[in-house]
Amino acid sequence: AVANHPKRRNFIATHPIAGTEFSGPSAAIRGLFEGKTNIICEVEKTTFKLQEKALELFKSMGMRIRYMDPKSHDKHIAYVSHLS
């Protein structure tokens, strides 16, 4: 749905790898994203100005950035998260 959207360049596909199986306010974790990986897919399809803002935000939270194509992302996540 996003691929052909006229404002596709205003979208950045990211997947922070953080959290637990719990949800709701009582499951909040201070510093959740510190040292965690954030996968960014198809960054070349996002406007550079948005890329800069996003990277600044992610780095301010202490996240590590990795770039992957969508197929690699899906395969990686299937092995490390969904398979178990």
- 24 in a structural domain: yes
- 46-to-25, 35, 73, 78 alpha-carbon distances in Å: 32, 24, 17, 25
Whether 81 is covered by a domain: the verdict is no
Is 2 part of any domain? Answer: no
Does residue 13 fall inside a structural domain? yes
Total domains in the chain come to 1
Report the C-alpha gap between 15 and 82 in whole angstroms. Answer: 14
Per-residue pLDDT of the chain (84 residues; tens, 9 = 90+): 899 999 999 999 999 999 888 999 999 999 999 999 999 999 999 999 999 999 999 999 999 999 999 999 999 988 887 666
Domain that holds residue 22: 8-76
Distance CA 51, CA 65 (A): 12
The verdict on residue 3 lying in a domain is: no
Cα 60 from Cα 80, distance rounded (Å): 26
pTM above 0.75, yes or no: yes
CATH number at residue 34: 3.40.50.720
Task: Classify residue 44 by its DSSP letter.
Answer: G
**Looking at the domain assignment, is residue 1 inside a domain?**
no
Q: Is residue 12 part of a domain?
A: yes
